[in-house]
Amino acid sequence: MKVALVNIPLRVPGSDEWITVPPQGYGGIQWVVANLMDGLLELGHEVFLLGAPGSPAGAPGLTVVPVGEPEEIQRWLRESDVDVVHDHSGGLIGPAGLRPGTAFISSHHFTTRAVNPAGCTYSSRAQRAHCGGGDDAPVIPIPVDPARYRSAADAVPKEDFLLFMGRISPHKGALEAAAFAAASGRRLVLAGPAWEPDYFAEITSRYGSTVEAIGEVGAERRLDLLASAHAVLAMSQAVEGPWGGIWCEPGATVVSEAAVSGTPVVGTRNGCLAEIVPSVGEVVAYGTDFTPEEARRVLDGLPSPDEVRREAVRLWGHVEIAGRYVEQYRRLLSGVTWK
């Protein structure tokens, strides 16, 4: 099939450059699109990537279409002969004006109601319920391509530190990660953009002696951190999120990335985390109230690197997940839909 994958078109903050697929730094949706694209290509489909001008080209079957503005993307889609438009833009583009017979599917990555609910898929059952998706809307977790991460053969040595890799925001639980790390007696490496200076200051004032904030990371350093950490902390909290309402972690890209890198995950039960963390780690309570005994017990009981790698590929491998999407493409092409 010819599949147009529409990334969420965003520019690197403070620059004219587009965020690419995969992204230069922080960027969960762009990693989802990159890993899914690998799976579709491996299954022999032709992929047209839009919404990420400047992305690396060269993979057989991949065309990076140099359009970024939503109107330009929509125009290209109207004029193209693709079989499927798979949208990851959060509704910046839509099905209007597509050639008849083209399937339109969107993967929802936010916590709001989907802009185009017909043909919308969700990353977790929790996200679907939170966003008001129908019971028949497919739930397809975030894919991960092991080739994009460190493998067992890379033999990256494990270190003692715990890793938080994400937006340093209250709903993502960076403060609670710092509390957990402090209780366990381990250092927390805090990687990611800190767009809320007061919150960041609170973390460093309360846990400064055990937190090492390294800013946003990308490329090789990011891969080494994901593979060398003792555990990744995904401690999302049920507090007000960025689009209003209580935060419901939709898909948590970092969980499958950690696991495929051989690193188990400690997470809360927020949103998707209750569905995915138990396979590759352990669920802990909300808040900052961890005792040293509890934190150490959790860390001592985590699954091994081999186990979590195996689970990541079994549950979220890029070819398996791409296959699940292809099934939905075929349903839509045969006239079935859902809301």
Compare residues 165 and 175 and give the one whose CB is closer to ligand UDP: 165
Cα 128 to Cα 329: distance, rounded to the nearest angstrom: 19
140 binds ligand UDP (CB under 6 A): no
Cα 78 to Cα 197: distance, rounded to the nearest angstrom: 43
Cα 307 to Cα 184: distance, rounded to the nearest angstrom: 23
Q: Long-range contacts of range 99-105, CB-CB < 8 Å, 24 or more positions apart?
A: 101/333, 103/329, 103/332, 103/333, 104/332, 105/325, 105/328, 105/329, 105/332
CB of 25 vs ligand UDP, minimal distance in Å: 5
Q: Which of 45, 88, 130, 222 binds ligand UDP (CB under 6 A)?
A: 222
Task: Assess whether the previous peptide bond of 13 is cis (omega < 30° from 0).
Answer: no
247 binds ligand UDP (CB under 6 A): no
Cα 231 to Cα 218: distance, rounded to the nearest angstrom: 19
Compare residues 102 and 123 and give the one whose CB is closer to ligand UDP: 123
Q: Which of 28, 133, 143, 317 binds ligand UDP (CB under 6 A)?
A: 28
SS3 323: helix
CB of 92 vs ligand UDP, minimal distance in Å: 16
Q: At which residue do the structure tokens 């460093």 appear?
A: 204
Rounded to 10 degrees, what is the CA torsion of 81, 82, 85, 89? -80
Q: Which of 6, 175, 191, 229 binds ligand UDP (CB under 6 A)?
A: 191
38 binds ligand UDP (CB under 6 A): no
173 binds ligand UDP (CB under 6 A): no
Helix, strand counts (H, E) of the chain: 11, 12
27 binds ligand UDP (CB under 6 A): yes
Q: Is the dihedral of CA 68, 116, 325, 277 positive or negative?
A: positive
- With CB under 6 A, what is the number of residues at the site for ligand UDP? 19
Q: Which of 1, 2, 12, 25 binds ligand UDP (CB under 6 A)?
A: 25
Comparing every residue's Cβ against ligand UDP, the nearest one is: 28
Q: Which of 38, 83, 257, 275 binds ligand UDP (CB under 6 A)?
A: 257
Q: Which of 165, 174, 259, 308 binds ligand UDP (CB under 6 A)?
A: 165
CB of 21 vs ligand UDP, minimal distance in Å: 12
Cα 338 to Cα 328: distance, rounded to the nearest angstrom: 10
170 binds ligand UDP (CB under 6 A): no
Query: 3-state DSSP helix/strand/coil percent for the chain, to nearest 5?
Result: 35, 15, 45
31 binds ligand UDP (CB under 6 A): yes
* Residue 198-217 contact track with ligand UDP, rule CB under 6 A, x = bound: ------------------xx
- Residue 311's contacts (CB-CB under 8 Å, 6 or more residues apart) are 259, 279, 280, 303
Name residues contacting ligand UDP, limited to 95-134 (CB under 6 A): none
254 binds ligand UDP (CB under 6 A): yes
Confirm if 325 and 36 have CB atoms less than 8 A apart. yes
CB of 197 vs ligand UDP, minimal distance in Å: 17
34 binds ligand UDP (CB under 6 A): no
CB of 107 vs ligand UDP, minimal distance in Å: 12
146 binds ligand UDP (CB under 6 A): no
218 binds ligand UDP (CB under 6 A): yes
Give contact residues for ligand UDP (rule: CB under 6 A). 25-28, 31, 165-167, 191-192, 216-218, 222, 251-254, 257
